[in-house]
Homo-oligomer: A and B are copies of this chain.
């Protein structure tokens, strides 16, 4: 049910012909009157037209519905792209009987290709006809591009329900928001409070994700609260708020996990945990440096622990550190202590076999300790496979 698990939402997903494959490519989500919304967006300097439009409308207090298309990203499309975003959201608003400011937009697909506006306008009527309180799964399918499976999630928070859907398997790197993710709740939440929950519970989770270190032009996380569960607005602080935040966080965790497990060409999920850094920012830089290193990623693909590459990646992160305080574990096996790789690792002993066994699992952890500081961070990465090269060497050709 994804985004329509909470009450007070209707959704749809249809095939409008924006994708050459003919698969569903136009999705619509609308909340009941009074729905509040918050969004977090890519930090890419060449943000797509729909990103800028949605940012503006959210700033103006709008955001009851969102229209999402896959096929074209409507990024690097200049003035035409701006116009296309306005035309399609205004048409959506007109058909739904809303003020245009109420309609947000996300686009995902090929960068630079102009939005197929005509097909989108034709498809909009179908999408509106298909709007249904159980349309969440159709919505989740229509937002996909190279994803192999839809990503849906749900959680409960006492009287409130939380739902979510996401897409994205490549061009994903942690800088503010990543890919497209939509979270809904039927709790009554003011937009200020919703923004606050999004910033603390969702944004950090999606920032912990990196498929390939590439920050997209279209990344967006949106949260909607319909209030359909009834009752007073969720107060801050309150037990209800805590429970709701936890449920939203759980949906975020679940979507992040589904995204990284469907990473382009990924055969292993690599969780990089860093602790002991001076602060969280330093820990995050270190974790990202390891997770994004093509040498660590190919070693993960080959099932080879190769601790030297982990040490190299840590050292190149641009973070000041004392090499003598560096410890590294692959799974439960400590391969580096005090900056020195255990010499027995190279004589083919148990150490290497244990680390290799850990890496054979579909998901494994690289843990890095760099000292006694309070900074910790975690990044969800994946390996770099032949399949990643194939997918990205052939895309759009």
Contact = CB atoms under 8 A, between A and B. Distances in A.
Contacts of A118: none
A392 B85 CA distance: 43
B303 A345 contact: no
A299 B110 CA distance: 13
B397 A311 contact: no
A45 B323 contact: yes
A267 to B, nearest CB: 10
Copy number of this protein in the oligomer? 2
A384 interface: yes
A45 B311 CA distance: 9
Given A311-B112, A316-B44, A389 B389 contact: yes
Nearest to A319: B45
A111 B310 CA distance: 10
Nearest to A218: B312
A299 B175 CA distance: 23
Contacts of A326: 46
Given A295-B170, A346-B114, A340 B78 contact: yes
Interface string A382-397: 0011101111111111
A109 B387 CA distance: 28
A227 B386 CA distance: 51
A303 to B, nearest CB: 7
Interface stretch (A33-41, A155-163, A208-216): A208-216
A145 interface: no
A241 interface: no
Given A312-B171, A389-B384, A295 B343 contact: no
Nearest to A312: B217
Given A110-B308, A111-B309, A112-B346, A78 B338 contact: yes
20 contacts: A45-B315, A46-B323, A47-B315, A73-B308, A75-B308, A77-B343, A78-B339, A78-B340, A112-B308, A112-B340, A113-B341, A170-B295, A212-B294, A214-B294, A215-B312, A215-B315, A294-B388, A385-B389, A386-B390, A388-B389
Given A46-B315, A75-B308, 18 more contacts: A44-B315, A45-B319, A45-B320, A73-B308, A76-B341, A77-B340, A111-B311, A112-B336, A113-B346, A114-B346, A170-B295, A171-B309, A171-B312, A173-B316, A215-B312, A217-B312, A294-B388, A299-B395
